[in-house]
Amino acid sequence: MRYRVLGCFGGEMPRFHLSSFLLDDTLLIDAGSVTSTLEIPAQAHIESILLTHSHLDHVRGLAHLADNMFGRRDRPILVYSVEPILEALKGSLFNNVLWPDFTVIPSSQMPILDFRALPEGKATSVHHFRVTPIRLSHAVISVGYLLEGEFGAMLHLGDTGATEAVWRMVSDMPNLRAVTIGTTFPNRLQHLADLSGHLTPRGLKAELAKMCAKTSVYVYHMKPQYAPEIVKELEELVPDAQVLEQGKEYRFAPIP
């Protein structure tokens, strides 16, 4: 499995792109920077999208992707998430006020975007992955995704503060290859992290202590203006965690 980091930051500045991850060229997790980092042919190759929550920094590129794909595809892009997140997008973004409703354009029979609800806590086949959404703790409804395939399993978490259910799900999973998790603010802004449903390095350490499985941990969603401070604190508190590198492709070979 190839996991390409299009953008991995919790804020946007020149050279810092919003969260968006491309798996095997066809499955996108979140769409913050998909259209600002991929050329049109690569955008057209995307078949499905998993959305972790409805906040703009994770879905903004979906609006522009739909616009770019008009007239370029003979089938819809399948957009997956839990029902409340899809409803929020329909009501607040693709509502013919803020942006055209590409779930019925050019027609309801053949739209650009086809929204499909996933059941929480149950695996669903999406391409060559088994995908299970798990509820997290954030300012709005947010989920993480357990992705399983020939490579084993990966846990990709959307925005979250302190949470429990996700760690119980993976506690005894022997083939868990990686966890990607946000760490948005430095420790001195713990109050802001708590209010907004995010983690600091101190909070990350506490969350990882709940996970029995031993696996690689990748950190993303840092606010760019605090990134050097956060990295320093991570090195002190969670030295084994790796910070995801924007533009890099991570590869997970099949398990024999």
Q: How many domains does the chain have?
A: 1
d(CA 131, CA 16): 28
Q: Which helix (H) or strand (E) holds 170?
A: helix 165-170
d(CA 84, CA 12): 26
178-223 per-position pLDDT tens digit = 999 999 999 999 999 999 999 999 999 999 999 987 899 999 999 9
The pLDDT assigned to 212 comes to: 80
d(CA 37, CA 20): 9
Q: Which pTM was predicted? A: 0.97
Residue 125 belongs to domain with CATH number: 3.60.15.10
Backbone Cα Rg of the chain: 17
Class of residue 42 by CB neighbours under 10 A (exposed 0-12, middle 13-18, buried 19+) = middle
Q: Which residue has the tokens 């609006």?
A: 63
Strand, coil or helix: what is 107?
coil
- What mean pLDDT is predicted for residues 150-161? 97
Structure tokens belonging to residue 186: 């430095």
* Residue 99 covered by a domain: yes
The pLDDT assigned to 137 comes to: 97
pLDDT confidence tier of residue 1, bands split at 50, 70 and 90? very high
The pLDDT assigned to 189 comes to: 98
Q: Which residue has the tokens 């492709």?
A: 249
* Residue 38 covered by a domain: yes
Residue 61 lies in domain: 2-251
Contact 65, 103 (CB under 8 A): no
pLDDT confidence tier of residue 71, bands split at 50, 70 and 90? confident
* Residue 256 covered by a domain: no
Strands 124-126 and 129-135: antiparallel
Give which of 206, 214, 213, 233 is closest to 222, Cα–Cα. 233
pLDDT at 256 over 90: no
- What mean pLDDT is predicted for residues 122-139? 96
